[in-house]
Amino acid sequence: MSGAAIVIGAGDATGGAVAAAFAASGLTAVPVRRNGDQLAPLAARITAAGHQCLPIGADARDEAAMIALFDRVEQEVGPVEVLVFNIGANSPMGILDETVRRYTKIWEMCALAGFITAREAARRMAPRGRGTIIFTGATASLRGSAGFAGFSGGKFALRSLAQAMARELGPKGIHVAHAIIDGAIDTDFIRTNFPDRYALKDEDGILDPEAIAAEYVRLHQQPRSAWTHELDLRPWIERW
């Protein structure tokens, strides 16, 4: 059996590109999102390229579902070599209008789901003394902006989780990395809602999902004598 790369939050842009890149590297891609039916085009693209893919629909906030998912992958595919946690949850709202329900849901998607999935990955990687866990962060991981209290809180928590896990799991042979994606990504959302920003694509002014995915694969392939914990990716024209 081959090893597996589980990608939580395998959407149509970054997550899908990451799953495809790890499949091309020789691992079996396991893309995961709440609506499993939406994974069909990605799975078809990966298998058409001659690579292995096991798409799974599941909610990463559900502890029992995640335990069952990791057990299934280990049984049907092989050892989990890579976990990429890529849930975004970017939903702006002014603080005067923010609700407990929305704030809690964003935290659950950003932070709680990250904890559950990373813990389950670590529980399986630690006895083997190897594995890679990558968290996708954002500009909001570093600074809170007006209208993004919920998102920033969740992303701050995720970054802290990544740091704590790196310090605990690094000595056990597990590479934990946090990637700050600082800038607009080539997605349908950006094309539709921010056409001026999307117009910068031709001059490499927005992030290419496949370029992000290539860096994630490189993180997994790094020798342990020179591990990167925090990777900061932004287009060359993006302001710091």
Exposed (0-12), middle (13-18) or buried (19+): which is 164, by Cβ within 10 Å?
exposed
User: Cα–Cα distances in Å, from 35 out to 10, 40, 71, 206?
Assistant: 10, 10, 20, 27
Does pLDDT of 54 surpass 60? yes
Which residue carries 């004598």 as its tokens? 225
| Tens-place pLDDT, residues 96-153 | 988 999 999 999 999 999 999 999 999 999 999 999 999 999 888 888 888 788 889 9
The confidence score (pLDDT) of residue 194 equals 85
Does pLDDT of 1 surpass 60? no
Which residue carries 């932004």 as its tokens? 234
The confidence score (pLDDT) of residue 188 equals 83
Greater confidence, 9 or 91?
Answer: 9
The confidence score (pLDDT) of residue 193 equals 82
User: Cα–Cα distances in Å, from 211 out to 21, 32, 44, 67, 239?
Assistant: 10, 21, 21, 31, 19
The confidence score (pLDDT) of residue 157 equals 95
Average pLDDT of span 193-218: 92
CA–CA separation, 73 and 67 (whole Å): 10
178 close to 230: Cβ distance less than 8 angstroms: yes
Greater confidence, 50 or 11?
Answer: 50
Does pLDDT of 192 surpass 90? no
- What structural domains does the chain harbor? 4-233 (3.40.50.720)
